C-alpha cells in the first residue's frame, strides 16, 4: 500500500508540524517515507507545500506527479485549489474552509466552493472553530490531520497520536494534550 500526500497552506499555519507527525508515525510503523523539501516561502504569509510519500515498499522519488496525489491536506481553501492538478481522480481533499486572504486578488469564496464541489471526495471543515471548541485555538493543523486520518488508511490513528506526543513532548504535557484533543476533534468530524 502507498499514500502520496500533498500538504498545502501558508507559512505559519503548521504545515511542517503535520509533515513531522506523519513522518514520525510512518517510521514507527516501519513504512518507507520520502518527503520533498518544503517549497515556497515558509515565513508567515508565503505559500508553502510539501510532498510526502508513504509506502510499505521502496519509494524511488520524493516528488508526486500530476494526477498522482491520494490526498491534499490544505490549511487554506485557495491553496487546496492550487494543487488540484496533482489530485488523482479518486483522491481526497481535506481542507480548512477559513481563507487567509494574504493577496490582493484573492478569489471570491463562492468560486473556491464551486471548484471544490466538482471534486469527488472533499472534507471541508472550519478547522479553526473546531480547534477553538476544544480550547486549542492554535491547533487547527492537528484538526485537519485528524480529519485526514480516516482516508490516510496506511497510518493507524493511534500511531499519529503517538507522533503528536513525540513531536510536541518538549513543549510540555498541556501542549501535547491540546494537540491530541484537536486531532480527535478532526477525527470525529471525518467519521460523520
* pLDDT tens-digit series, residues 150-188: 899 999 999 999 999 999 999 999 999 999 999 999 998
For 62-86, what is the mean pLDDT?
95
Closest CA to 35 of 22, 49, 52, 20: 52
Q: Domain extents for the chain?
A: 2-97+118-190
Q: How confident is the model at residue 190 (pLDDT cuts 50, 70, 90)?
A: low
Confidence at 104, pLDDT banded by 50, 70, 90: confident
Instruction: Tell the burial category of 31 from Cβ atoms under 10 Å away from its Cβ (0-12, 13-18, 19+).
Output: buried
Regarding predicted confidence, which is higher, 41 or 62?
A: 62
- According to the model, what pLDDT value does residue 191 have? 56
Taking the C-alpha atoms of residue 130 and residue 108, their distance in angstroms, rounded to an integer, is: 23
pTM of whole model > 0.95? no
- Determine the topology of domain 2-97+118-190 in CATH: Pyruvate-ferredoxin Oxidoreductase; domain 3 (3.40.920)
The answer on pLDDT for 84 being more than 90 is yes
- pLDDT score for 189: 76
* Positive or negative: CA dihedral 135, 141, 146, 147: positive
* pLDDT for residue 13: 86
Tens digits of per-residue pLDDT, 45-72? 677 889 999 999 999 998 999 999 999 9
What is the rounded CA–CA span in Å between residue 188 and residue 42?
A: 30
Q: Is 191 helix (H, G, I), strand (E, B) or coil?
A: coil
Amino acid at each position: 500500500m502507498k499514500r502520496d500526500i500533498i500538504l498545502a497552506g501558508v507559512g505559519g499555519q503548521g504545515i511542517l508540524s503535520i509533515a513531522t507527525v506523519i513522518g514520525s508515525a510512518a517510521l514507527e510503523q516501519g513504512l518507507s517515507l520520502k518527503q520533498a523539501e518544503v517549497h515556497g516561502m515558509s515565513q508567515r504569509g508565503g505559500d508553502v507545500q510539501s510532498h510526502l510519500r508513504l509506502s510499505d515498499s521502496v519509494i524511488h522519488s520524493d516528488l508526486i506527479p500530476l494526477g498522482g496525489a491520494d490526498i491534499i491536506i490544505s490549511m487554506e481553501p485557495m491553496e487546496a485549489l492550487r494543487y488540484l492538478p496533482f489530485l488523482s481522480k479518486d483522491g481526497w481533499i481535506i481542507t480548512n474552509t477559513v481563507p487567509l486572504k494574504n493577496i490582493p486578488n484573492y478569489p471570491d469564496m463562492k468560486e473556491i466552493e464551486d471548484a471544490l464541489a466538482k471534486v469527488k471526495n472533499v472534507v471541508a471543515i472550519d478547522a479553526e472553530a473546531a480547534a477553538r471548541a476544544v480550547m486549542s485555538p492554535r491547533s487547527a493543523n492537528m484538526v485537519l490531520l485528524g480529519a485526514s486520518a480516516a482516508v490516510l488508511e496506511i497510518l493507524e490513528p493511534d500511531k499519529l497520536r503517538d507522533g503528536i506526543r513525540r513531536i510536541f513532548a518538549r513543549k510540555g504535557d498541556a501542549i501535547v494534550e491540546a494537540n491530541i484533543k484537536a486531532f480527535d476533534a478532526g477525527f470525529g468530524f471525518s467519521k460523520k
